[in-house]
């Protein structure tokens, strides 16, 4: 193995219950993404900090061309990675200076030698994966220029955050309560008129696919005409690949497209498909951010996993990517999770990427209507094992300035002032019992989950961008400064945290008053 310097933050804890069962096949071939640090990092950090400033005059968004010129990877750093690859028999499969990413291809034996590790096969009750123990090692010439090395470990990194009504328990017992079309939900929330014409909504997907005939049938049934343009963008060898299983990743893909496409049918819907690994997930996000052809102004992500399940280097690189999105005027909406305050683990855990302070984290509510108005809205919680909105306090990310002075109230106990990033920021209808009628793999079903809330907010942003003639970009400071533009949710809990007046760790600031949100974000004469 190559002798190098230990790379801090590259360690990965095994999947709970996993055990190494032997060495990985030394001839197995795969790809690894090496993420480099950006040029002019100090200048970029100052610009990113300006996005968070309360009341400060915000700089105009960078163009993609300006970002590439000022803040892409240093050409000398790219050359150093090429030299490193050649010295270990690795090939450079792709090189993206603007994304600061070099994708290397090689065998297990070559990557073992290059990064000073011993890749093994791990097995656990739910599957198997390739991984290693301890940190990776980098040669001296790469230290200080590499931000992360992702893809050596190929465990599934994220799960989709949707729930199908009728799956059992509380959802079945309450199945007769209500369901809505996405257009009805948008109407209840008072979305401003418009179709999002001229905008592009990017959807990040880590599996599954869409069936064009199902989309056509669905949009026709809603009277959406003309129908949205939906295109697939393959990343790292992935593609639109429907499985025929509505309860699998197809459900996520179709839910995202149908919610966003019905509310903002004038927008192009670009679906970025990538492998479900930390490398694939990040590559899909950075591809969408820097896609000069489709030029998304808003990105919706409905996949995630407990913050504690990510490596430190991955958390850093994803958060850096979201900072890039903000600097480019792109809004990133993420689902806060469907497993309550524990995010499927014991104790309190928030979901990532929603815990990044550079995304708009979307929690979930139970929404009931009376005619064309909201009758009642509370925190979504169907009970243990049945689904509840994610939310809580990060253990990694610093408290953003726009959350200064806020508190998270425990269900049993007192409110405690936030010391780190609180999740979520906003909310929307997510309960399967008051969920969204969708069509997946030839079936008409009702879906819930915070997966629906991310594209709901993304479509609102697309409408607002089109109305104002420019992208709103990073919206969090503005929304926190205009909290009355949201419906404050004060009832319910997500397990360990309870809803209160004002921001809380269940539903954030609340659900949108669409026209008021548009006005707060600078839309002239919002309808």
Tens-place pLDDT, residues 184-243:
999 999 999 999 999 999 999 999 999 999 999 999 999 999 999 999 999 999 999 999
Neighbours of 65 (CB within 10 A): 10
Six token digits for residue 491: 């009832």
pLDDT in tens, 334-354: 999 999 999 999 999 999 999
Q: Which residue among the candidates 77, 252, 278, 425 is catalytic per the annotation?
A: 252
Mean pLDDT taken over the chain: 94
Left if phi > 0, otherwise alpha if psi is -120 to 50, otherwise beta: which for 151? left
Q: Is pLDDT of 4 > 90? A: no
pLDDT at 431: 97
Range 101-122 average pLDDT: 98
The pLDDT-based confidence of 171 (bands split at 50, 70, 90) is: very low
Q: Which residue has the tokens 């966003």?
A: 260
Query: Which of residues 59 and 80 earns the better pLDDT score?
Result: 80
Specify the pTM: 0.96
Range 69-87 average pLDDT: 96
Range 460-474 average pLDDT: 97
φ, ψ of residue 306 to 5 degrees: the values are -55, 135
CB burial string 227-240: b at 16+ within 10 A, e below: ebebebbebbebeb
pLDDT at 172: 38
Left if phi > 0, otherwise alpha if psi is -120 to 50, otherwise beta: which for 30? beta
Q: Which residue among the candidates 31, 256, 386, 431 is catalytic per the annotation?
A: 256
pLDDT at 59: 61
Range 445-458 average pLDDT: 98
pLDDT in tens, 379-437: 999 998 899 999 999 999 999 999 999 999 999 988 999 999 999 999 999 999 999 99
Q: Which residue among the candidates 262, 356, 394, 451 is catalytic per the annotation?
A: 451
Sign of CA dihedral 479, 424, 408, 433: positive
Active site residue 252: yes
pLDDT at 57: 44
Active site residue 386: no
In this structure, of 7-11, 100-104, 516-520, 522-526, the range with the lowest mean pLDDT score is 522-526
Query: Which of residues 167 and 315 earns the better pLDDT score?
Result: 315
DSSP-derived 3-state class of residue 19: strand
Active site residue 256: yes
Asked whether 380 and 387 are in contact (CB, 8 A), the reply is yes
Six token digits for residue 108: 């297990």
pLDDT in tens, 5-58: 999 999 998 998 999 999 999 999 999 999 999 998 888 888 877 777 654 445
pLDDT at 174: 46
* DSSP states along 118-178: --EEEEETTEEEEE-SS--EE-GGGTTTEEEEESSS-S---EE--EETTSSTHHHHTTTSE
Helices of type H across 385-513: 453-468, 476-481
Asked whether 217 and 441 are in contact (CB, 8 A), the reply is no
Q: Which residue has the tokens 């489709």?
A: 294
The pLDDT-based confidence of 3 (bands split at 50, 70, 90) is: low
Six token digits for residue 164: 């199908």
Asked whether 462 and 298 are in contact (CB, 8 A), the reply is yes
pLDDT in tens, 245-298: 999 999 999 999 999 999 999 999 999 999 999 999 999 999 999 999 999 999
Torsion of CA 424, 429, 434, 436, to 10 degrees: -120
Sign of CA dihedral 479, 481, 486, 489: positive
Q: Is pLDDT of 114 > 60? A: yes
pLDDT at 48: 78
Six token digits for residue 73: 């990877």
pLDDT at 56: 43
3-state DSSP percent of the chain in helix, strand and coil, to 5: 30, 30, 45
Helices of type H across 355-504: 453-468, 476-481
The pLDDT-based confidence of 524 (bands split at 50, 70, 90) is: low
Q: Which residue has the tokens 């030394």?
A: 26
Q: What is the largest CA-CA distance in the chain?
A: 69
Domains annotated for the chain, with CATH where assigned, are 5-37+73-150 (no CATH), 159-520 (3.40.50.200)
CA distance 242 to 239: 9
């Amino acid at each position: 193995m190559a002798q190098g310097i230990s790379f801090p933050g590259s360690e990965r804890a095994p999947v709970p219950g996993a055990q190494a069962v032997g060495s990985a096949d030394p001839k197995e071939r795969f790809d690894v993404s090496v993420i480099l640090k950006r040029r002019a990092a100090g200048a970029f950090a100052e610009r990113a900090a300006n996005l968070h400033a309360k009341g400060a005059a915000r700089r105009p968004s960078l163009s993609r061309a300006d970002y590439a010129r000022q803040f892409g990877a240093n050409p000398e750093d790219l050359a150093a990675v090429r030299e490193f690859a050649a010295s270990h028999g690795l090939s450079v499969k792709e090189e993206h200076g603007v994304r600061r990413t070099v994708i290397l291809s090689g065998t297990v034996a070559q990557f073992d030698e290059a990064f000073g590790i011993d890749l093994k096969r791990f097995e656990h009750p739910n599957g198997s994966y390739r991984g290693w123990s301890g940190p990776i090692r980098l040669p001296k010439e790469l230290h200080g220029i590499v931000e992360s090395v992702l893809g050596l470990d190929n465990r599934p990194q994220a799960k989709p955050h949707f729930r199908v009504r009728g799956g059992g328990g509380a959802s079945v017992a309450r199945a007769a309560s209500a369901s809505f079309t996405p257009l009805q939900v948008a109407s209840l929330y008072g979305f401003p008129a418009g179709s999002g014409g001229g905008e592009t909504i990017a959807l990040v997907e880590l599996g599954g696919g869409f069936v064009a005939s199902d989309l056509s049938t669905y949009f026709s049934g809603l009277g959406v005409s003309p129908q949205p343009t939906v295109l697939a963008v393959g990343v790292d060898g992935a593609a639109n690949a429907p499985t025929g299983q509505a309860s699998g990743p197809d459900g996520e893909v179709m839910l995202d497209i149908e919610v966003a496409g019905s509310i903002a049918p004038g927008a192009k819907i670009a679906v970025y498909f990538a492998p479900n690994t930390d490398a694939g997930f990040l590559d899909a996000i950075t591809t969408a951010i820097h896609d000069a052809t489709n030029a998304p102004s808003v990105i919706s992500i409905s996949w995630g996993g407990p913050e504690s399940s990510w490596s430190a280097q991955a958390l850093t690189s994803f958060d850096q990517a979201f900072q890039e999105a903000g600097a480019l005027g792109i809004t990133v909406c993420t689902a806060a999770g469907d497993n309550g305050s524990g995010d499927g683990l014991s104790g309190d855990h928030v979901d990532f990427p929603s815990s990044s302070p550079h995304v708009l984290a979307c929690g979930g509510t139970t929404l009931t209507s009376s005619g064309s108005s909201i009758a009642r809205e509370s925190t979504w919680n169907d009970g243990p094992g049945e689904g509840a909105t994610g939310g809580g306090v990060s253990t990694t990310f610093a408290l953003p300035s726009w959350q200064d002075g806020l508190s998270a109230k425990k269900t049993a106990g007192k409110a405690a002032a936030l010391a780190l990033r609180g999740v979520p920021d906003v909310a929307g209808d997510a309960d399967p019992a008051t969920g969204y009628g969708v069509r997946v793999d030839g079936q008409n079903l009702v879906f819930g989950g915070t997966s629906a809330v991310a594209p709901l907010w993304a479509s609102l942003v697309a409408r607002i961008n089109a109305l104002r003639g420019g992208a709103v970009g990073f919206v969090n400071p503005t929304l926190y400064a205009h909290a009355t533009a949201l419906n404050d949710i004060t009832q319910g809990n997500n397990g360990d945290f309870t809803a209160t007046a004002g921001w809380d760790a269940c539903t954030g600031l609340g659900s949108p008053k669409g026209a008021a949100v548009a006005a707060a974000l600078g839309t002239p004469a919002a309808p």
